[in-house]
Structure 1
């Protein structure tokens, strides 16, 4: 089984990415949650262009993917789940949940540390919010994320299949909860007790600091509720809220690929503390 997964891991992940991207794109066309403010063609070409660029750089920097490292750790007995005799099913569940938690902590970290926020604001600077926003991250942040994932795999020693499952969930849920779509209120209310819904995560992309510093989860909604970072709705409502960052409102810097890559290096160095959750409409951060 491990050999099959190793051989077909890229096909599995790419198929999931293309399939969900297509489904979400159709859903957004049929029933958009919000009216877009920037040309969809411009945003899609540049957001997906950044995805392909990042994939190329990752291939050069990390010849061994996360699943390969998991296999290596398993062969050498590295990690807690390899050290102890844990049944496969339980080990897989622990691994997926633990990796999910690490992503939550990483997300909080990139909002809390000023230097890391400069990288992460590329994701937040998107002037609209749709399925492609979920894959729009600066190259340096992607590399950082991969290093954190590698460290987690070495310490945890997750089953190889669990890592593939997590990677698929990561991509699928990022596209789902960044979708310009809405669920019926009753369905959304029930579903967000378990997983992050589009309406739940959209709050996180508000220009207002206290709203942007909430709802950090990407898959399980448990972490936001448990650690007090959950916010139910944006003040202005989902149709009335402004997406993005106050300081970056031009298409050139927020929607074109060169502008995205240069965004972390723009502006003076300033703090962006995670505990700045009060609302101040005069603040331009």
Structure 2
């Protein structure tokens, strides 16, 4: 049931975002959807099947187990109810920020994470463009934090929903008025804020790592307000990967095991 709830909400948010993109796009995209979407959605479906057959639902089950065994900081200090929910959501949000930074700094993880950045356009489907091994690592990483925290099980479900929804939103190719965007950035990560992270320019790629709450980038010194080029013109992706023909599904699955390309 937990999986059905999460997937239903995720699909609903995705449909809202692609409709918004069609009605009010922020950028003209190249290559078009017909070329990119089968790859991105194909990766998403493959990852869903992999999770279903392996560690799907493990985050929630880990939280239930930690609660039953009285494991983790929240159980040790007997923090329950809404305070436990709040701590769980905030701590896991920061944990994912930390994982994202680590995925850029640790070469082994970058081999996996670069698949997400090889997309040379930027829309809601980019949010699901991840190598299967990175998805598995991310789940194991979250499980470790859940056990350490003794995370509230219902808060873990809520976090997974927020994680998926926020990622779909902040990868959206949607036009938000600049004044509204600047206001929203004080609380959440907006598409214009996160698009900078997908720039081909290294110093911009190494910024704006947050996925939901925008404060972590400001507090940790990784926030960048604007790209060097205009949002509508800035190149997206990685400099060594500009040919859409070499970014097919099979090539992306093999990419972590290939020689790293710098230029």
* Same fold flag (TM > 0.5): yes
Equivalent-residue separation in structure 1 for 2:133 and 2:261 (angstroms): 18
Output one character per residue of 1:141-183: Cα deviation in whole Å (capped at 9) or x when no partner.
Answer: 1111011001001110111110000000000000000000121
Report deviation, 1:83: 1.7
Report deviation, 1:55: 1.4
Equivalent-residue separation in structure 2 for 1:210 and 1:146 (angstroms): 28
Equivalent-residue separation in structure 2 for 1:148 and 1:235 (angstroms): 34
Equivalent-residue separation in structure 1 for 2:108 and 2:150 (angstroms): 30
TM-score by length of 2: 0.97
Distance verdict in 2 for CA 1:260–1:13, change over 3 Å? same
Which residue of structure 2 lines up, in the alignment, with residue 88 of structure 1? 81
Which residue of structure 2 lines up, in the alignment, with residue 48 of structure 1? 41
* Alignment map for 1:242-257 (pairs within 5 Å): 242-254=235-247, 256-257=248-249
8 A contact 1:253–1:263 mirrored in 2: no
Moved >6 Å (runs of 4+):
none
Which one of the candidate residues 234, 255, 258 is aligned to 1:263?
255
Find out whether 1:196 has 2:222 as its counterpart: no
* Alignment map for 1:172-191 (pairs within 5 Å): 172-191=165-184
The CA RMSD measured in Å over matched residues stands at 1.3
Q: Secondary structure of the equivalent of 2:156?
A: helix
Equivalent-residue separation in structure 1 for 2:111 and 2:57 (angstroms): 28
Q: Secondary structure of the equivalent of 1:20?
A: helix
Equivalent-residue separation in structure 2 for 1:39 and 1:182 (angstroms): 18
8 A contact 2:3–2:57 mirrored in 1: no
Report deviation, 1:32: 0.7
Which residue of structure 2 lines up, in the alignment, with residue 153 of structure 1? 146
Report deviation, 1:60: 2.2
8 A contact 1:252–1:259 mirrored in 2: no
Q: Secondary structure of the equivalent of 1:117?
A: helix
Distance verdict in 2 for CA 1:63–1:193, change over 3 Å? closer
Find out whether 1:20 has 2:13 as its counterpart: yes
Equivalent-residue separation in structure 1 for 2:195 and 2:261 (angstroms): 27
